[in-house]
Structure formats: C-alpha cells, structure tokens
Structure 1
Amino acid sequence: MISANITSLLATYIDALHILHHHGVLDGYGHLSVRHPDNPPTFFMMRQVAPALVSGLDDIGEYRVSDAEPVHPDTPAAPIERFIHSELLKRYSDVNVVLHGHPNELIACSIAPEARLKPVIHMAPFLGSNVPIFDIAALYQPSDTQDFLVRNQRLGAALAAEFGGSSDSPYPPHNLVLMASHGFAAVARDIKLATYMGVYAVANARVQSQALQLQQVAGMGHAPRAAGDDIVYLDERQIRDSWETEIRTVEKPWGFWVREVRVDPLYVNELGRE
C-alpha cells in the first residue's frame, strides 16, 4: 500500500506524461522519472509502456539510483535507457526529475551545430546561452550496440557529465542537453517544471527554425549569410530575468494542460482526482 503523498506524486507524474505526449515532446517512446521523496536512493519511472498509455501503478516501476535495476526483481520490462535517469539522479543530488524524448524539432538542432539551439522566446530561458550536444558515437567501444541508446552506466555517466559542473555539484549548470541524432535529456527539481521545460524547449526550437527559414528567404539574391546571423536571441540578462519570472508562473499553464488531457479519452489517469 503506497502513501497518499506518493499517490499524489504519481498522479502528477501520469498527468505530466500525458501532457508531454499531447504537446509532441514524447511520442510512442521517451520517458520521465522522479526521485522517490521518501527513499532518495530509488526513483519511479514508467515501465516499457508508451507515455500516453501510462494510467496507473501497474505501469510504473521503482528503480535503484545506484545501478538502475528494479527494486523489485519481478518488475517486468524495464526501459532500456533507464541509465539516463539513474546516472543523472546519481550525479546531481538536487535533481529530482529527468526527462528524455525525441521530438523532431530538437533532433534537428542536435545535428545542425552551426545553428545551435538558443533561447529566442522568453518562455525558454532555461536553455541558457549554450546548449551542449552529447555525441554518443564518439564514445562507442567495439563491443557496443551502436543504436544511439544509452544502454549502460558508462554511457549514462558520460551523458550526465555533459550537463556540467563538478562531480559533487548538487545541481548542474545546464538544464537540457541535446543528444546527437537522438533527442534530448533535461533535468528539473520537480515534475511540473520538467514538463514546462519540455513543452517550451520544443516551442523554442520551432520558432528558431522558422526564423532561420525566414532569414534565408529574406537573404535570397543577396550575399550568403552565416548561420544564425541577424537572429535575435535572448542575452544573458534577459535569460536570467526571464527565468526568474517564468519559474514562478508554472502553475498557470499546468492547470490548463491537466484539464486538456483529463478531458481527452486517449489519456487515463487512475490516480488523478476529479
């Protein structure tokens, strides 16, 4: 029997998965994890289930931060890339939530480093001025399965290190890292903030891509422009001030997003309160 506190946490967790699917951050793949608040050496994470179809406790497993293995040996179908989550939670003690997905908009940014992902909208200051790109291909050993999946602790630890800071930093300097030809990983202190970052990272990438396209159209018949030339990005002060504002307003879109998925018959949340 789980406590009312954990039930409420997992109800929020399920809503977040549905919201992230609804907004195109997650598709049939991708995952979200949350550190167990009463037992920090473990974390909750969906089993091998499509995010939109997670509906209750049977779809969620508990895993050890130390090695990403299930707390209960009979847990079925643990996600292959659970090492993304375990290694980030292990490295950064103040990180409580990890998000990983494969939206097309962010994959495009991961393979076009000359047009680096940068904040162009005030809702995405969490991106910072320099989003790292993790290239797993550079880390492959001859025996590795080279399918871009983070399949073990070694690769998970390398991805976690890309978020920056020292090995004893409680929270990393980067909230989000692109994964070349794969997608992205992001960290947060709580589920609602992680959901916000996922939604607006994709929105920012979409707006940035549209601006780059408009720039190229405007430049036709003129001298070639360098990638990113003339695009207006948030500067360091705007990034800092916008983040201080946005981080306090997450509840506003969250309430709308929850209602949006609660009325959609695709999404079932057995733990959610009406």
Structure 2
Amino acid sequence: MSTTQSSSESVILQQYYRDLISGSHILHYHNVVDAFGHLSVRHPFKPEIFIMSRNAAPGVISSPNDLVEYNIEDARAVDPNAAAGFAERCIHSECYKRYPDVHSVIHSHSEAVVPYTISGVSLRACYHMAGFLGTSVPVWDFADAQQPDDISDLLVRNTHLGSSLAATFGTSDSKDGSPQHVVALMRGHGLTVLAAGIQDCVMRAIYTQKNAAIQTTALSMRAADSSATAPIKYLSQKEVADTTSWIKTSAHRPWGLWLREVEACGLYANSA
C-alpha cells in the first residue's frame, strides 16, 4: 500500500470513528439508549472486523481510545489487551457474519418499543418516516434459543444466541443475501437495528422509537373511544416500499440536525 493510500485510508477511518462516537451521542440525546445499548460499524477496509466502544455508557465515549476492534468470526477483540467490551457484542458479530451488506448495527432497550416485544401486538409502520419497518416486525424470544447452560437474563452473551437473533431478520429475495427485515424486536429486552451505514442505522433506530410511540397513542385512542369502528390504517405494502425508497435519499438531513444538537448540548465530547 502506498503512503498516499495509507494516508487516505487513515482519514476515512478517522471519520468512521467520529461518526461512531457522534452516533452514540445522538442515540443518547434522543433517549434511544441510556447507560445501556450500543452502536457498531463494520471496518471500512477490513470487512472481517467491526468497531464498537468499550463497555461504557454511549453518552460518555469521547475519543478513538474508547473504541475497540473485534473479529466478526467470534466477537473477540483483535487486541487481547483491549478494554473490556460489551457482553452482548455477539449481537453485532453475528449480524455482520450473516449479512455481508450490513455495515452498522444498533442494540437498544427503548422503553417505547419494549411493550411491542411482550404484548402480542405487532409493531407496524404507521407513518411515512418509518416505512422501513414494513407491514410487520419480527420478535425474537431468548427462551426459544436458550441452551441449558445459558444464564436466563435475556442477554445475548454468546454466538449461538447471536446467530439465532440474526436469523430472525430473514433473507430477502435479492441475490446479495440482504436481510428481509431491518429491525427485530427482542422479547422483554429491546430491539436490534441493521443498516448499510451509521447514519441510516441511527435514523432507523430513532424513527422506530417514534413509530412505536405514535402506534401506542393510536391504540390508546381507539381503546378510549367505544364509537371507533374503523381499524387503524397502517402503511400498505406499496406505501412501505415507496417511503423506504424515499427515506434512503434523506438520511443526511436529520443527521446534520442531530449532530448540531449534540455538539451544542455541552454534555458530549468528541475528539476523533
């Protein structure tokens, strides 16, 4: 590799670090994560490696020193002396392993979403910003994948649990093996979001939470009004397809706003 190429790759990698840190701050600012939850990205030049923060609250990570590289094959740190990582990093490694075109993963315990993991009510796209949710969102149950020696704390601590969760996203009809769903719920736990990049992944996580809040409001309104007879009108299959296509071209707009918000907040620091 030439010196010029090496320098160019260094600049790109530095931007990945910066976006990973900023994305973590944005997710915290919008209450998608709190002291728990995590965002990761596939390494731009080493597709067998992914990057995520050390075991710390997303809002407090602030520099590349807080980031750790992991092998996708087994979720082990590339550097055996790296800082302690998240117990649930196998969520990320197994999703990257199964779906080569996925380059960013988020795991969240969003309180607006969790009711849809336990109630039997399907989370569905009900407004145009969340068409990517489709006409249904799958729910993964820890109990279905649990083996006798797994701790019953609902945490995805190993590769067989991570592999089971990753399989829940399904496979689309396209030849590239991309996931059929980009969001999967986790019973009594939260959700996992997949995307081709950090900005798209953050946007999907935030608008999944917003969609859940809107759907809950709509369901509550119907329950409170005995005269309501028409069913809730969710997005149709064509509306899902068209809104999903549209939003792909618009991720830069909310990202720019959200970035300014966290930069102006005073709570977050990013030296990458």
Pairwise TM-score range, normalised by the shorter structure: over 0.9
1:200 paired with 2:207, answer yes
Task: State which of 102, 109, 116 in structure 2 corresponds to 1:102.
Answer: 109
Identity %: 39
Aligned-partner Cα distance in 2 for 1:75–1:123: 39
TM-score computed with the length of structure 1 as normaliser: 0.93
Task: State which of 28, 37, 58 in structure 2 corresponds to 1:30.
Answer: 37
Aligned-partner Cα distance in 2 for 1:102–1:187: 15
Q: In the comparison of the two structures, how many residue pairs are matched? A: 263
1:266 paired with 2:267, answer yes
Matches within 5 A, 1:24-103: 24-103=31-110
Matches within 5 A, 1:4-15: 4-15=11-22
Q: Quote the offset at 1:265 in angstroms.
A: 1.2
Alignment partner of 2:114: what SS?
A: helix
The answer as to whether partners of 1:110 and 1:179 remain within 8 angstroms in 2 is yes
What per-residue deviation string (whole Å, max 9, x for no partner) do you get for residues 194-238 of structure 1? 01001100000000000000001112xx69x8xxx7111000011
| Structure 2 letter corresponding to 1:157 | S
Aligned-partner Cα distance in 1 for 2:37–2:255: 20
1:165 paired with 2:166, answer no
Residue 149 of structure 2 aligns with which residue?
143
Give structure 2 stretches of 5+ with no counterpart. 1-6
Q: Quote the offset at 1:141 in angstroms.
A: 2.0
Q: Quote the offset at 1:169 in angstroms.
A: 5.1
Q: Which runs of 4+ in 1 moved over 4 A?
A: none
Q: Quote the offset at 1:4 in angstroms.
A: 1.3
1:183 paired with 2:183, answer no
Q: Quote the offset at 1:170 in angstroms.
A: 3.0
Aligned-partner Cα distance in 2 for 1:29–1:74: 23
The answer as to whether partners of 1:95 and 1:170 remain within 8 angstroms in 2 is no
Aligned-partner Cα distance in 1 for 2:137–2:238: 17
What per-residue deviation string (whole Å, max 9, x for no partner) do you get for residues 25-51 of structure 1? 111000011000111110101110100
Alignment partner of 1:184: what SS?
A: strand
When structure 1 is superposed on structure 2, of 137-146 and 5-14 the one drifting more is 137-146
Give structure 1 stretches of 5+ with no counterpart. none
| Structure 1 letter corresponding to 2:236 | D
Task: State which of 123, 126, 129 in structure 2 corresponds to 1:117.
Answer: 123
Q: Quote the offset at 1:66 in angstroms.
A: 0.4
Alignment partner of 2:75: what SS?
A: coil
Q: CA RMSD in A?
A: 1.6
1:155 paired with 2:156, answer no
Aligned-partner Cα distance in 1 for 2:148–2:176: 32
Aligned-partner Cα distance in 2 for 1:140–1:69: 21
TM-score computed with the length of structure 2 as normaliser: 0.93
Aligned-partner Cα distance in 1 for 2:215–2:171: 27
What per-residue deviation string (whole Å, max 9, x for no partner) do you get for residues 147-202 of structure 1? 00001000000000000028x95310100000000000010000000010011000
| Structure 2 letter corresponding to 1:127 | L
Q: Quote the offset at 1:253 in angstroms.
A: 0.9
Aligned-partner Cα distance in 2 for 1:161–1:191: 21
**Structure 1 residues 87 and 68, CA, compared in 2 at 3 Å: closer, same or farther?**
same
Alignment partner of 2:221: what SS?
A: helix
When structure 1 is superposed on structure 2, of 137-146 and 13-22 the one drifting more is 137-146
What per-residue deviation string (whole Å, max 9, x for no partner) do you get for residues 103-153 of structure 1? 11111111112x210011100001011100000112222221000000100
Residue 243 of structure 1 aligns with which residue?
244
Matches within 5 A, 1:122-137: 122-137=128-143
